[in-house]
Amino acid sequence: MINLILFGPPGSGKGTQAARLVDHYHLTHISTGDLFRYEIGNDTPLGRQAKAYMAEGRLVPDEVTIGMLRNKVESSGDTQGFIFDGFPRTLPQAEALDAFLAERGESVTGLISLEVDEEEIVQRILLRGASSGRADDNDESVIRNRISVYHAETSPVKDHYAPTGRVRHVYGMGTIDEITERLREAIDGLIG
């Protein structure tokens, strides 16, 4: 099984690239952001729990997120592996993922970090907000909050995996095709 973490700040292109990579490598894409938006759209109890955090650009509490992720992996059926997009986003989430994979006799194949300039990120998210209808993409102070949460809580996840030697940095500026190509090179190196 392949278990890849696609990592990077909000707006770094994880969702766009993950969609392309799952087709190429025949993997299952799990985006915690998409899962939360689905729950919110259906007004489920889980969605109601997540909604206020997301609107403010804060992280949904770990126990809620970890439980949802676990359910999704367990109900995914036959697959050659996963691309985790937007998870893990905190150290406790990373530790929970490691433990969960270990229970299944597996581990993280690699973490690929998309590197994008901060001002580019804000511009991309505002542009996306104009068409996505995402409330958290339409308010610059919420976007800046998401970026500061990324630096404070999420970027330590990269350091957590660094000792495994399975962290790769990919330059996330350029055309979508160019970035896909760079990601494929990094992934081929990890799984080859």
> Which residue, among 99, 28, 27, 29, has the nearest Cα to 62 in the 3D structure?
99
Given a contact cutoff of 8 angstroms between Cβ atoms, the answer to whether 165 and 2 are in contact is no
Under rule CB under 6 A, residue 13 binds ligand ADP = no
Give the end-to-end CA distance of the chain in Å, rounded to a whole number: 13
Q: Which of 20, 128, 168, 184 is catalytic?
A: 128
160 contributes a contact to ligand ADP by CB under 6 A:
no
Q: Determine which residue in the list 7, 11, 17, 46 makes contact with ligand ADP, applying CB under 6 A.
A: 11
Inter-CA distances, 65 with 48, 50, 56, 83, 141, Å: 13, 9, 16, 16, 24
144 is catalytic: no
CB nearest ligand ADP: which residue?
Answer: 33
In angstroms, the CA 116 to CA 108 distance is 23
Note if 146 is an active site residue: yes
Chain residues 96-155 in contact with ligand ADP, contact rule CB under 6 A: 136, 146
Can residue 17 be called a binding residue for ligand ADP (CB under 6 A)? no
Active site residue 20: no
Give the catalytic positions in this structure. Answer: 14, 89, 128, 134, 146
